[in-house]
Amino acid sequence: MSVLLWGVLPYVMVAILIGGLIWRYRYDQFGWTTRSSQLYESRLLRIGSPLFHFGILVVIIGHVIGLVIPKSWTDAVGVSEDLYHVTALGLGTVAGIATLVGVVILIYRRRTTGPVFMATTRNDKTMYVVLVAAIVAGLATTVISVFGPHEEVTYRETVSPWFRSLFVFQPDIAAMSEASLAFQLHTLIGMLLFAIWPFTRLVHAFTAPIHYLFRPYIVYRSRDARPAPGSGIRRRGWAPVGTPDRAGDRRPARTPDRTGRGTR
């Protein structure tokens, strides 16, 4: 079972993630969107969306530092284990709570706003369940890694080496098997989240406006100041030709004088 979970399943998840992104881009480009519902409700969205997005950004940075940077590197630069865990607890807890509060607000908004709820699909509901489970599990592991018993504080010597070993196609199954149950559950939920990622609205996270850097410039021209009504000032352009439909250009009618000649 350990070989299946920690030696095979990660690569299956990566294959589904990459294959799903390619399929989604080729056959569902118009669906590659967040399906924004800001038009229906914006008050709660202005609160929940920044909390969630800024929080998840810090969470991602924390995962990169914790999983990619070896313990020996932080020891070499003088970062003690206590300082590392205090920093992880402070930033991780704040970012995790902000992310959780943000997603709860978004779910509440989606459930209580009629038009938004009507636009919610089963796919969205599944995504929210897995996403919340991953966030809660992550908060639990953050607390356990600091306040748990000594044998629980081993993710930098178990989960991190296993994660790095995946990139060289030599998964350290033994290291991951020694991790605590909380970290194993968090890892499994995370892999499930990435597996369904391409098929949900979360796919917009892989969108970057690169074409914006190469699009042609948009030329803006200022308008001339409009003359006051009745001022008689005309804008530059074609000169009037005195057609009958221009009242200002009509000539007065000719009236006969005593000699019979017409006068103006």
CA distances to 81, 183, 196, 211 from 139, rounded to whole Å, are 19, 11, 21, 37
Longest Cα–Cα distance in the chain = 125
Rounded distance, CA 31 to CA 122, Å? Answer: 15
- Taking alpha carbons only, the member of 154, 160, 146, 147 closest to residue 180 is 154
**Residue 85 labelled as part of a binding site:** no
**Residue 150 labelled as part of a binding site:** no
Rounded distance, CA 11 to CA 191, Å? Answer: 10
For residue 178, the SS3 value is: coil
Compute the residue count for the chain.
Answer: 264
Residues sharing a CB contact under 8 Å with residue 126, sequence separation 6 or more, in sequence order: 196, 200
- Taking alpha carbons only, the member of 248, 255, 61, 88 closest to residue 155 is 88
Amino acid in the structure at residue 126: T
Residues forming a β-bridge with 262: 256
Binding-site residue numbers are 53, 63, 186, 204
Binding-site residue numbers for heme b are 53, 63, 186, 204
